[in-house]
Amino acid sequence: MSILLLVCLTLGQGSIPAGSAKLDLDLATAKMEVFTYKPANYRDGAMLMVFHGMLRNADEYRDHARAMGDRFGMLVVAPRFDSTQFGKGKYQQGGLFEDGKLAARANWAWSVVPKIADRVRDLEHRPDMPYYLIGHSAGGQFLVRLSAFVPTEATRIVAANPGSDLFPTRDLPYPYGFGGLPTSLVTDDLLRDYLARPLTVYLGSADTVRDEDLDISSEADKQGQTRYERGHNAFRSAQELAKRKGWDFRWRLVEAPGVGHDHEAMFNAPASRAALFGLK
């Protein structure tokens, strides 16, 4: 893509082109590269925002999500959370704390998501464009915790194979549960809203290996021994709490049979349709 086109996209002059492209966005609290894919037959479909894993390979995630864009007629948008601006504590864990203190809400990493969505809407001249969020591994962790703390307009939030989850309990410390957080972030209202968010726990049934990238801390292992087990336990914990409290519960649990810890396979699995849209 030409430098001129990049500048035009950054300034909001013209819609996102067909095929693969890149935006450079200044979001006030962060400057981000955002990789896009618009199918050739795109006709005002929804936005699919894709969140990378620990390798921060947003361009590769965009490429591997193109098949979903083609299948579902969606505009793929994959932001890169670089390690300079978003270290581990500010990506997987959302940057909830800075220097041991609760960070300003505007500085949470999750706060860029609505900004990116609105910028893409501006470029497409569609202020009401619906959007979906999907992330794998570290990206799945990012979205699980976003679901707890940041309201968005996302139609559905899909957390695929997160290495650890956020259980709706005060018995586990953050980022595994709500223990140790300021009282303002551990209210019943917040927990109720968390369980009412449109979150899909999307698990590969073969993601059962305790590989070198898995969090094997004692607190993580209280959630389960593998990503697959942890996801099931998190869903069950949330479902039981909602039932006990009489709260609305909008989570889904979807499995991709035979798929391990592989974002491309999870994206391309037939089950991705159910994860996003609740359709078989």
Model confidence over 166-218: pLDDT tens digits? 999 999 999 999 999 999 999 999 999 999 999 999 999 999 999 999 999 99
Which tens digits make up the pLDDT trace of 61-117?
A: 999 999 999 999 999 999 999 999 998 779 999 999 998 899 999 999 999 999 999
CB 81 within 8 A of CB 57: no
CATH classification of 3-277, choosing from 3.40.50.1820, 3.20.20.140, 3.40.1050.10, 3.40.630.30? Answer: 3.40.50.1820
What integer pLDDT is reported at residue 122 of this predicted model?
97
Q: State residue 158 phi and psi, 5-degree precision.
A: -110, 115
pLDDT at 8 over 80: no
For the entire predicted model, the pTM comes to: 0.94
pLDDT at 2 over 50: no
**pLDDT range class, residue 4, cuts 50, 70, 90:** very low
**3-state SS string for the chain:** CCHHHHHHHHHCCCCCCCEEEEEEEECCCCEEEEEEEECCCCCCCCEEEEECCCCCCHHHHHHHHHHHHHHHCCEEEEECCCCCCCCHHHHCCCCCEECCEECCHHHCHHHHHHHHHHHHHHHHCCCCCCEEEEEECHHHHHHHHHHHHCCCCCCEEEEECCCCCCCCCCCCECCCCCECCCHHHCCHHHHHHHHHCCEEEEEECCCCCCCCCCCCCHHHHCCCCCHHHHHHHHHHHHHHHHHHHCCCCCCEEEEECCCCCCHHHHHHCCHHHHHHHCCC
What integer pLDDT is reported at residue 200 of this predicted model?
99
What integer pLDDT is reported at residue 160 of this predicted model?
99
**pLDDT range class, residue 251, cuts 50, 70, 90:** very high
pLDDT at 257 over 80: yes
Provide the mean pLDDT of the chain: 94
Which tens digits make up the pLDDT trace of 225-247?
A: 999 999 999 999 999 999 999 99
pLDDT at 12 over 50: no
pLDDT at 47 over 90: yes
Percent of all residues in the chain with a pLDDT value above 70, rounded to a whole number:
95
**pLDDT range class, residue 279, cuts 50, 70, 90:** confident
